[in-house]
Every structure is written in C-alpha cells, then in structure tokens.
A and B are shown apart, each in its own frame.
Chain A
C-alpha cells in the first residue's frame, strides 16, 4: 500500500476527533457520573500566568470530550478484557454486583468519626436520660470482596475497634441479618424491601416494637446505581421497591433544610425520577428532618445520627415511635445540633455505614 493512504486515514482520524472536540456543544452535567462537568476556563492574563487557564482547559477538554460516556465504556472494557485488570478505578463486578474496593482501613478516619461521636455524646447526651445506641452497616464488600479475591478491610476488626472507641454506647449488631442480596446490584445502598428485619431488630434492642405489615411497591423507573455510572460498564438497572402501609401514609415528614419546617413526603416521587432515584427515601440528603407518627402507640421518641443508609430504614422504625428525628452531621455542624434539638429521654441511635466511618472527613 502506498503510504499516502495510511497517512490520510490517520490524519482523517485525528481531524475528525479534533473537529468533534471543537464543535461539540457544551454539556453541563454528567448523568452517569452524577457530577457537573468542567466548563471553559476564563481566559485572562492572570489566569494564563498563574497556569489556572491551562489546568482548567485540561479538565474542560477531558470532561467535554465527544461521546465521553462511550469512550469511558471503551476504556473500562479495554482495561478489563485486554489488559486483564480486575478492577477499573477501584470498581469491580462480581456475582452480578458492581462495587468499589474499600481498602485499606483508615485509622485516622476512624478516629475522626469516633471523636465526632464522642463530642456529640459529651455535649448533648452524657448528662441526659437518653439511651444511646450504635449500629454499624458493613458495605457490600463485606460479602463480595474476599470471596472473589478482592482486597477488603477486616470488617470484624474494624467494627470491634470502633466499638472499643465508642464503648459508652450500646452496640446493636445487625450484621448477622444482612446478606449480599440485601444490597442493590449497581449501587452501594441496601434495599428497603429487604431490611424490615433490621428495623425490627433495632427497635427490639431499643425496647420497642416496629413489626408491621407492608405493601411492597415497585418504582416504575429504572435505577442506575452510582457504581453503574462510575464503572461505565453496561449492566441491567436495578429496580427500587418501597414499602407502604397506613401508618407510613399518615405520618408527616418535616424537613429543616433551610431552618424552617417544610412538610414533605416519606417517599419523594420527584426525586425517584431525578438524578439519583435512591434519594426518593426521605428526599435524600438533609441535615435535619423529623417523622411524626400521629398514630403511634407510645410517646417514645428516637433521634438517629445517620448517613444515607438510614433514609430507607428510618421509615420502617416509624411504627414504633411518635417522633423520629434524623440528623446528618455531614450537612450540619455537630455544635449546631443543640440549636434544634434538646435531649432528655429519647432513644438515640448512631447508624452509620463502614464506608462513611472509613472516609469520615465529611463528618463535621
């Protein structure tokens, strides 16, 4: 073959991709990665001299690359099947599940989380009549990683170490009730329809009863979990199921995102059809919210210090309590908690996933 043809083919490839880069309309948000994409940096003398323009342009061109999701998939497939990588950016698939390697255990992060909990205990709970409980949720690597040859933290040791640092709380062990299928295949969270037994155990351990009959509803919208977008691999989406009954239907949820109470739904159908359908449970991230059950058999109250896992679990504790308050210290300074809550004789539950404890800098 004359070399003119290969040169033309390669030049055409370069030119086509270049033109696509230059002409592609700007995209502001990546649905698959659930993040805003970089925009074109401001061009000025100071931004050029400082190098900010160049750094911003590198990010911009990577984020705005034409057909970026397809290219990310190509990269994931190449890495997996042609380079033989077992994980791609820490993400792996096994037994039909996608997950992200959580390794190694970070003692510094664990200490930070323990220090935040101790601060809350010493500031608000120590001198109250509240009973304080701790329960830890292992991420799904607990069931998935080691049997499939992936690195995983020593969860039993991790939990034991954390319990030792928080020995002023009564620990409720929910691990024996959990199994891999209790988690979504494409997401990190657990499935609400699988954790009614967990809610029952927690309530029972706190001296009350949350047993209830539920109707299982299926969301008419596919759930592409966080790992599906991050991994860029093709996989069937999950299905979200959510539990309802008369008690939950008559309960009132007050959200305090802006300070004043705004009444909302237990399950937000707007969020269910949004960027992250898991946020349908108690509307996702919220620094402070309460679930009021006007039909409660007792006047018991529960305060849950929590992460996102509690969003789907807390509704299942509603039958046992007149009022459940959920506090997320990722979105509220621990020192502000006293401005909104006073502690006297409530049950107080710290319910956290090992993922948050091992990456705890967000706890404030």
Chain B
C-alpha cells in the first residue's frame, strides 16, 4: 500500500487511527504492529513472512548479544545477526546482478533467479543492523518485547521508503511516548504537504520524464530538461514521502528526524549530502565509515574509506553498475572538495551553488538510468555525443507544458516559501486568520490530491525500488 492512494487515505488510515486511539496504552504497539503487517501485506502478501522472520532473528540475536556482552560470543551473535540481514538483502536484491556479472566474466550461463524485490527490504534491513550494532555497542538495551521490536521495524509510516530510523533514536518512544493536539497538528501539516509534493509536483514531473523517454526527437535541451525534471521529481517524491512518514509518525506519538533539508541550495557536494537523505548518510557514516577508521587514519586508508562508503551508497540504491558509478562519482567530488577546494567553495557561495547544481543534475542523468549503457545514453543526450540538435519541437512543448510546474518545483526546493510564511507570521499582529488560512489551504490540498487520485493519476514511489 502506498500513502498516495485512496485505499490508504480513506480506508486504512481512518480505521487504524480509530483503533489506535481507542486501544489502551499497553496495546498501542500491538495495534501498530498488526496494522503495519496488514499495510505491508497489501503490497507483498508473501514477503510479510520474510520480514517477520527477520524481526524474530534480530530479536533473538539482540537478546544473546546483550546476554554475552563483553565476551566473544556477543561479537559472534552480532556477526550472525548482521550476516543474516545482509544475506537476505544480497539474495533478494543483488543475486541476479552477481549472476549476470559472473556469467559475463566467466562465460558461464547460470540462470537468473528473477526474484521480486521485497518492498522496503533495503530500509528495514539497515534498521535491523543498526539495532544489533547499537545493542552490541551498549548504546541501547536489547528489546525484551518482540511486539515492540516488531513495531519498530515494521512501523508502517517509515517501513517501505524510510527515513531509516535508528533503534536508539526511538527505543524510549516505543515504551513511552506522548500524544497531543500540537503534535497531531504538526503531523497533519507535514503529511498533507508531503502528499501534495508527491501527487501534485512529483507525479506531474514524472509525466514530463515519461514523455522524454517516449520522445522521438533527441535534443541537447531536452536531455538537460529531463535530467533537471528527474532530479526535481526524485526530490519531491522522496522528500514528500519522508514528510508523510514524519507526519504519520507524529500521529502515533513518534518523532522521526528530518530526512531532507533543502539539499538543492547547497554550495558544496559535502553540504548536499548533509541535506539529502540524511538518515542514509548518517547510517553509512556511523556504521561503515567510522568503524573503518573514518578520517583519523593515513591518507591512503582514508581514501579507501571514502570510496568504500560511496561504492556502498551507490550499490544500496540499486543492483546496477550505473548506481555504483553514481556513488563513486560523488566519492570523487567529495574527495576533491576535501583535499582541494572546500575552503574556496565556502568563500564563494554563489559559485558553489552553480557548481553543485551542475554536478548534481549530471548525477541524476546517471541515476535515472536502469543500466550503465542507458546512463551513458542519458549523458550522451546531455552532451551531444550523437550530434543531435540543440532544440526540438518536443522540447519546446515540454517546456510550455511543464515550465510552470518546473518553476514551482524549483522555488519549492528552496526555503523561500517557508521563510516568507514565517516572516508573515512573525509580523502579523493577528495570527488567528493565518491559522485559519493554513487549515483551509491544507484541507484544499487534501481535496485536490483526492481529485488527482480519483482521476487515476497514480505513480508508485520511486524509492520503492531501492
């Protein structure tokens, strides 16, 4: 099930909210776990058992890690837990990638497994690993209640596309969390804004991207327009989903950390990755980069650490070489910044923003592909390697048709609107009418989104495939 669907908005969510708030405190986690399993089973009836098995395995190993803390067995159970999680991820997500490359290198022709990717496996696997590692490090006690651990892993607001919530961040909330109208209102605002970002902006930009992929007239301008539209689509799609997840979390008393912080205004790639998919970046930092030694090692080793992290970041996004190249591309840019021009960029913000835009747009030309060769095709379209025209009629129409949405998206990707709103609020003598206006705008957005969904304008979330 996805948030931007009528079954979720008008069937699942009202029932879950009703049952959740009616349930006694002791049963709230059970309600959340059960509803999350239903939510997951809606899209993946078979794989719900895989997720339950993963939760059970992590629950048992977590208890054992804690029981034998300080002894070799503790480390052994940690290794077992992490290896099990990675093995499942590797089997379901990467098996065919490895088979294809093995066949290509050796000339063998092992058959592909052709497994459907369990939705959200990349996200919940990382959450389970963080749980085991945090318990091993003693940063949090093992969860004794399997329902609470299950509720953490399967929690439907963040189950299938993040943010990657660390156990240590919400372990306390699992047993004791508060519910208030203030929190519910903030959640409501976040959810509706995220829903509008997804349905009204990202899906509309998705239409532009689909038109490009069906185009018959290749042109340089259209290649760049596609990359820009795809970048904005991904941003509004994924950050919209994160907003909805954070908003839904608040309905149920949870506080998730922000996952995006206007990354497209960054003046360096380093800053970009501090603002884009924050939960993934910090996960790799804390569970890969720092354990490898981080930057407190010799330069050669540090370079290895950086490229290992960015190889894995790219690979996490998809089992294709273009994702690996995409990750390493950022690794190269970050290394260059780290060693050569970080200070220059800090002193020249405008130039830095243009530099970030240029290289991030190119990166999404690579990211938009589904293979290395199609990534080269996208880059070729942007740099005219096929000698194509600069403009085309299709480009002109796409610009006319989507120019306003692109402009809205570009403005919406900056904090301008938020700042303006806060400015007006701070200067207003009577804030009551602003509150009324805000409620009306959000109710209107909810109705308009419903109109889009009733019309069948429907696109699955892009980050589901990761």
Which A residues have a C-beta under 8 Å from some C-beta of B? 1-7, 9-10, 13-15, 17-18, 21-22, 48-49, 51, 54, 57-58, 61-62, 65, 68, 71-72, 74-76, 78-79, 83-87, 89, 104-105, 149-151, 232
Q: Is the CB of B11 within 8 A of A21?
A: yes
List A contacts of B148 (CB < 8 A). Answer: none
Indicate with 1 or 0, residue by residue over B1-15, a CB within 8 angstroms of chain A CB atoms.
100011101110110
| Distance of A9 Cα from B10 Cα, bound (Å) | 16
Residues on B with C-beta less than 8 A from A61 are 5-7, 10-11
Contacts of B405 in A (CB 8 A): 83-85
Contacts of A151 in B (CB 8 A): 393-394, 397
Are the CB atoms of B6 and A74 closer together than 8 Å? no
Q: Are A51 and B443 in contact (CB under 8 A)?
A: no
Q: Is the CB of B185 within 8 A of A6?
A: yes
The answer for the CA separation of A129 and B104 in the assembled complex, in Å, is 61
Closest Cβ of chain A to B267, distance in Å, is 30
Known: A10-B443, A149-B400. A75 touches B188 (CB 8 A): no
**B residues within 8 A CB of A87?**
401
Extra A-B contacts (17), CB below 8 Å, given A2-B181, A78-B448: A1-B435, A3-B182, A3-B185, A4-B181, A6-B438, A10-B439, A13-B447, A14-B446, A17-B450, A49-B45, A51-B43, A54-B1, A61-B6, A61-B10, A62-B456, A75-B455, A83-B200
Q: A1-B432, A58-B6, A87-B401 are in contact. Are A71 and B204 (CB under 8 A)?
A: no
| B7 in contact with A7 (CB, 8 Å) | no
B442 at the interface (CB under 8 A from A): yes
- Interface assignment of B262: CB less than 8 Å from any CB of chain A: no
Residue of B6, B192, B216 with most chain A CB atoms under a 10 A cut-off: B6
Interface of B (DSSP majority class): helix
- A9 partner, pick from B7, B402, B439, B451, beta carbons under 8 A: B439
Residue of B with least CB distance to A151: B397
Q: How far is the CB of A94 from chain B (nearest CB, A)?
A: 13
Judging by beta carbons under 8 Å apart, are B184 and A3 in contact? Answer: yes
A84 surroundings in chain B (CB, below 8 A): 403-405
A79 vs B5: C-alpha distance when bound (angstroms): 19
**Which residues of B from 53 to 82 have beta carbons under 8 Å from A?**
none
Q: Are B185 and A7 in contact (CB under 8 A)?
A: yes
B46 touches A (CB below 8 Å): yes
Check if A21 sits within 8 Å of B181, measured CB to CB: no
The minimal Cβ–Cβ distance linking B308 to chain A, given in whole angstroms, is 38
Kindly report which residue of chain A lies nearest to residue B440, judged by CB atoms. Answer: A9
Once the chains bind, are A74 and B448 in contact (CB under 8 Å)?
A: yes
Q: Is B408 an interface residue (CB 8 A)?
A: yes
Residues of B with C-beta under 8 A to A13? 443, 446-447
Quick one: which of A2, A14, A54 contacts B9, CB cutoff 8 A?
A: A14
Question: Are B181 and A3 in contact, with the CB atoms below 8 A?
Answer: yes
Contacts of A57 in B (CB 8 A): 7
Chain B proximity of A203: nearest CB distance (Å) = 38
Which chain A residues border B455 with CB–CB below 8 Å?
62, 71-72, 75-76, 89, 232
Least CB separation from B408: chain A residue: A83
Docked CA distance A331–B446 (Å): 44
Bound CA–CA A122/B181 (angstroms): 77
- CB-CB under 8 A from A1, the residues of chain B are 431-432, 435-436
